[in-house]
């Protein structure tokens, strides 16, 4: 009863608060619905970006991977801080100067409409094929495991997960369809900090239990039980540190990982859309850099519990690593806290799900419908189209979700491998747009097609014995070569000139560079300290 009460209380509070905050918002306009009226502040942006990124595929998937493979996977998190610094100091000032609503909009200005359309379609496909189904499925695993829905209703576990997927998907779609970006941002802010608090309480309660009331003693016991689990540099001599079977070799930090991080934090629509909705450049930079601070702390929530799980369960769950986190939560949290925790989990699922739906709707409405289907479409019609797109994609994602079960290397690893199909080719095109003025529209399209084919061939068809993140790095270099070769044959016709839209203040935050350098230094220190552990 306490579990259910705390769940309903927190969920109800989030819904009532966000609805009240939206009472005077005009959601019928393009900027109002898709960009929150360009009124988001730094704290709201940071909270929303964190929760858009961190969802159950992290809580379940990364903790499951940490349980089995140790802390080497924190590279996915702490290196994000470097990408966020680059985004805050370089990319966001340019996006806001141009007054962009979507990232593909930049590609139309820099290259042509066809390049914009291709990227837009790939983004929407990537949402439906990878992110949305995995978020729904991992969320369903957590909720089913903690609440025991199948036992309560007298159905099978598979049916319980299916039912949870449908319910969560429908609730998420309602938020995204009727509230727009600002509803997503407000709910994200509350749930984001709720997730940080609740997520930290899991290892705190666990270490308190292990240390008999002494958290430091508990951490010492966990460390002494398996010190190798805390090492952040992969040591897998039996399979080779760069092989496809390695979880995350240290060397990927210098090949494909940084390209992936740059794309996700500075070019991925569902993430960057929060910063595009900022009231000013100063607030956008605050938002990105505050997110960098949170990303350095987040391994305490999505890596440490997995290692603690190894202390409790040993290797008994190696064949079911994605069940480790739910089992740990049930073991260490008191009933009243469990309900609050599940409410935050629900918020994390809804956040990522809502954000992807809102971004897909934004891209389709503005970059496809208005450009190719109805150029004369008014703002109200674009908003209506966006709502229909959100509804359709929600249904498709719900249907696809159960098919991502039983990923051999874990759900988070599956998500990253599938993301490679889309992220690196799109990142190469956007980076070329900014840094290589001689790359033409023909070169961009050739590089995009080559990149897609290359990754699918190397990693999914031939399954070469190279880690998939290294393949990203190789692909990035080859994409740029192909782009330049094709551009030499079909050169740029009209040089691109970046124009100032004048839509908002682009005065930078005075502390941006200082905080940026601090975040980079902390990232290096983490690797120096944890990399020295035997």
Distance CA 223, CA 279 (A): 45
Q: What is the mean pLDDT of residues 288-294?
A: 94
Look up the CATH number of the domain holding residue 179. 1.20.1730.10
Encoding tokens for residue 343?
């409410």
The answer on pLDDT for 36 being more than 60 is no
Distance CA 91, CA 266 (A): 7
Residue in this structure with the two tokens 């189209």, named with its chain if needed: 385
Specify the pLDDT at position 47.
79
State the Cα torsion 318-320-321-322 to the nearest 10°. 180
The answer on pLDDT for 530 being more than 60 is yes
pLDDT tens digits for 51-98? Answer: 777 776 678 778 988 998 888 889 888 999 999 999 999 999 999 999
The answer on pLDDT for 238 being more than 50 is no
Distance CA 164, CA 398 (A): 10
Would you say the C-alpha torsion 91, 93, 95, 97 has a positive or negative sign?
negative
Range of the domain at 349: 1-19+28-532
Distance CA 347, CA 4 (A): 15
Would you say the C-alpha torsion 206, 227, 258, 293 has a positive or negative sign?
positive
Residue 237 confidence class, pLDDT cut points 50, 70, 90: very low
Give one DSSP letter per residue of 408-449, joined into a string.
Answer: TT-HHHHHHHHHHHHHHHHHHHHHHHHH-TT--HHHHHHHHH
Specify the pLDDT at position 281.
93
**Cβ-Cβ contacts under 8 Å for 73 (sequence gap 6 or more):** 62, 65, 66, 247, 248, 303, 412
Specify the pLDDT at position 203.
94
Encoding tokens for residue 177?
């369809």
Q: What are phi and psi of 410, to 5 degrees?
A: 100, 155
Specify the pLDDT at position 408.
44
Specify the pLDDT at position 3.
67
Specify the pLDDT at position 443.
95
Residue in this structure with the two tokens 């009727």, named with its chain if needed: 178
Encoding tokens for residue 136?
């729904």
Contact 88, 516 (CB under 8 A): yes
The answer on pLDDT for 389 being more than 50 is yes
Q: What is the mean pLDDT of residues 336-359?
A: 77
Specify the pLDDT at position 496.
86
Encoding tokens for residue 333?
């949290």
Mean pLDDT (the chain, rounded): 82
Encoding tokens for residue 112?
């042509």
Tell me the C-alpha to C-alpha distance, in Å, between residue 460 and each of 151, 411, 456, 466, 468: 38, 16, 5, 12, 10
Q: What is the mean pLDDT of residues 124-151?
A: 77
Specify the pLDDT at position 273.
81
The better pLDDT of the pair 466, 345 is held by 466
Percent of the chain with pLDDT over 90: 29
Q: Which helix (H) or strand (E) holds 524?
A: helix 512-530
Specify the pLDDT at position 411.
57
Q: What is the mean pLDDT of residues 163-175?
A: 80
Q: What is the mean pLDDT of residues 440-450?
A: 94
The answer on pLDDT for 409 being more than 50 is no
Residue 311 confidence class, pLDDT cut points 50, 70, 90: very high
Contact 37, 182 (CB under 8 A): yes
Task: Tell me which of 198-212, 232-246, 393-407, 517-531 is least confident.
Answer: 232-246
Contact 466, 242 (CB under 8 A): yes
Residue 404 confidence class, pLDDT cut points 50, 70, 90: low
Residue in this structure with the two tokens 């914009």, named with its chain if needed: 116
The better pLDDT of the pair 35, 65 is held by 65
Task: Tell me which of 99-113, 194-208, 243-257 is least confident.
Answer: 243-257
Task: Tell me which of 107-116, 344-353, 387-396 is least confident.
Answer: 344-353
The answer on pLDDT for 296 being more than 60 is yes
Contact 325, 59 (CB under 8 A): yes
In 3-state terms, what secondary structure has residue 111? coil
Contact 323, 145 (CB under 8 A): yes
Give one DSSP letter per residue of 129-185, joined into a string.
Answer: IIIHHHHHHHHHHHHHHHH-HHHHHT--HHHHHHHHHHHHHHHHHHHHHHHHHHHHH
Residue 236 confidence class, pLDDT cut points 50, 70, 90: low
In 3-state terms, what secondary structure has residue 300? helix
Among 34-38, 63-67, 214-218, top mean pLDDT goes to 214-218
In 3-state terms, what secondary structure has residue 378? coil
**Distance separating the N- and C-terminal Cα atoms of the chain:** 46
Specify the pLDDT at position 334.
84
The better pLDDT of the pair 346, 30 is held by 346
Specify the pLDDT at position 316.
87
pLDDT tens digits for 246-267? Answer: 777 888 888 889 999 999 899 9
Specify the pLDDT at position 38.
67
The answer on pLDDT for 37 being more than 60 is no
Contact 416, 252 (CB under 8 A): no
Specify the pLDDT at position 351.
73
Contact 71, 229 (CB under 8 A): yes
The answer on pLDDT for 115 being more than 60 is yes
Contact 246, 240 (CB under 8 A): yes
Domain count of the chain?
A: 1
Q: Which residue blocks in 277-410 are alpha helix, DSSP H?
A: 281-297, 299-302, 304-313, 324-332, 335-363, 379-400
Write down the pTM of the prediction: 0.83
């Amino acid at each position: 009863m306490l579990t259910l009460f705390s769940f309903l209380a927190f969920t109800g509070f989030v819904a009532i608060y966000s609805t009240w905050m939206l009472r005077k918002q005009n959601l019928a306009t393009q900027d109002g619905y898709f960009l929150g009226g360009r009124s988001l502040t730094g704290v709201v942006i940071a909270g929303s970006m964190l929760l858009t990124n961190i969802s159950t595929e992290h809580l379940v998937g990364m903790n499951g991977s940490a349980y089995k493979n140790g802390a080497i996977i924190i590279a996915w998190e702490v290196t994000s801080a470097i990408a966020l610094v680059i985004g805050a100091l370089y990319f966001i000032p340019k996006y806001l100067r141009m007054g962009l609503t979507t990232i593909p909009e930049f590609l139309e200005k820099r290259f042509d409409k066809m390049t914009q359309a291709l990227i837009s379609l790939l983004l929407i496909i990537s949402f439906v094929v990878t992110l949305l189904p995995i978020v729904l499925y991992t969320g369903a695993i957590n909720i089913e495991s903690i609440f025991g829905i199948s036992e309560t209703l007298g159905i099978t576990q598979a049916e319980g997960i299916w039912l949870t997927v449908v319910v969560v998907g429908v609730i998420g779609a309602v938020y995204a369809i009727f509230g727009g970006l600002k509803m997503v941002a407000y709910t994200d802010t509350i749930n984001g900090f709720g997730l940080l608090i609740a997520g930290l309480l899991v290892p705190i309660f666990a270490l308190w239990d292990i240390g008999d009331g002494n958290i430091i003693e508990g951490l010492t016991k966990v460390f002494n039980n398996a010190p190798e689990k805390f090492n952040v540099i992969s040591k897998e001599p039996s399979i080779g540190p760069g092989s496809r079977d390695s979880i995350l070799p240290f060397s990927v930090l210098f090949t494909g990982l940084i390209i992936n991080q740059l794309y996700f934090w500075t070019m991925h629509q569902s993430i960057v859309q929060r910063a595009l909705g900022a009231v000013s450049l100063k607030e956008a930079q605050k938002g990105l850099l505050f997110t960098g601070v949170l990303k350095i702390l987040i391994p305490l929530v999505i890596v440490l519990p997995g290692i603690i799980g190894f202390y409790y369960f040993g290797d008994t769950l190696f064949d079911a690593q994605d069940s480790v986190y739910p089992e740990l939560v049930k073991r260490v949290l008191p009933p009243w806290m469990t309900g609050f925790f599940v409410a935050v989990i629900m918020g994390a699922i809804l956040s990522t799900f809502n954000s992807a739906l809102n971004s897909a709707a934004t891209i389709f409405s503005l970059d496809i419908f208005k450009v190719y289907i109805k150029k004369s479409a008014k703002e109200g019609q674009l908003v209506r189209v966006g709502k229909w797109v959100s509804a359709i994609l929600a249904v498709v994602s719900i249907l696809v979700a159960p098919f991502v079960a039983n990923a051999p290397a874990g759900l988070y690893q599956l998500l990253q491998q599938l993301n490679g199909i889309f992220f690196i080719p799109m990142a190469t095109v956007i980076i070329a747009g900014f840094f290589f003025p001689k790359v033409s529209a023909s070169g961009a399209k050739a590089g995009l097609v080559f990149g897609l084919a290359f990754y699918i061939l190397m990693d999914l068809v031939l399954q070469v014995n190279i880690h998939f993140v290294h393949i990203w790095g190789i692909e990035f270099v080859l994409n740029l070569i192909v782009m330049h070769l094709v551009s030499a044959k079909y050169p740029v016709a009209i040089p691109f000139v970046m124009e100032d839209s004048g839509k908002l203040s682009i005065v930078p935050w005075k502390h941006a560079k200082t905080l940026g350098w601090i975040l980079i230094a902390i990232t290096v220190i983490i690797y120096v300290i944890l990399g020295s552990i035997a």
